[in-house]
Amino acid sequence: MSRTIYLLRHGQTEFNAERRMQGQCDSPLTELGEAQARAMGAALREELGNPADWQVLASPLGRAMQTARLVSAELGLPARHIRPEPRLIEVSFGEWEMQQVPVLHERYPELASLPDWYFNAPGCESFAAVSARIRHWLADESLPPRLIVVAHGLLGRILRGIYAGMHPDQLWQQDMPQDAFFRLQGGQITRIECMAEII
């Protein structure tokens, strides 16, 4: 089945602003994060035909659901249109969740040279496990052909890499923007910028 996926990362959260590892713990969107979510919704509105033809899926974590509600409001879709999808939850960072990234890198300076350093956390979900659930989701034939997905930074990076069959070096070079999102279609990935305005 030919499927088009718009892949969004949640807007900036309080932990993002504090440079803390979130993983499967949570924090709410900041004022900037809310503006980023609205900007993504407005940019999506320009991309889509009839938004009602698109299914909105979101990680069940609060920051993704909050972003999905703001995006849906911009699209004129009710919150009940959003479906939580557990397979899209962020990577678990084990004992490093809620820790500040600069502190971790000071404590473990060898991390700076590792592109996949996240997976060195004690008790962390393995890359193999994350990849397996992403592949399972991508291969799910019950999914509709038009999807708007609100997920997370690292999860989204890995998802894009698997989708496009990237070499690991290329996968880890991808960024994790909160001021842009991606269209996944026909095996290709297109980046779509959006400008957030705090009102």
pLDDT tens digits for range 121-179: 999 999 999 999 999 999 999 999 999 999 999 999 999 999 999 999 999 999 999 99
Q: Which residues are 149's β-sheet partners?
A: 7, 57
Report d(CA 29, CA 45) in Å as an integer.
21
Residue in this structure with the two tokens 């999102």, named with its chain if needed: 181
**Residue 72 CB coordination number (10 Å):** 24
Query: What does the block give as tokens for 56?
Result: 């909105």
3-state helix, strand, coil in the chain (%, to 5): 45, 20, 35
Q: Mean of the per-residue pLDDT values for the chain?
A: 95
How high is the pLDDT of residue 32? 96
**Global pTM exceeds 0.85:** yes
Query: What does the block give as tokens for 101?
Result: 């990234």
How high is the pLDDT of residue 199? 62
Map out the domains of the chain with their CATH numbers. 4-193 (3.40.50.1240)
Q: Which amino acid is at 164?
A: A
Active-site residue, from 34, 90, 97, 125? 90
**Residue 133 CB coordination number (10 Å):** 17
3-state secondary structure at position 99: coil
CB within 8 Å of 92: residues ≥ 6 apart? 23, 24, 123, 124, 125
Is residue 90 annotated as part of the catalytic site, yes or no? yes
Is residue 85 annotated as part of the catalytic site, yes or no? no
Active-site residue, from 10, 85, 125, 152? 10
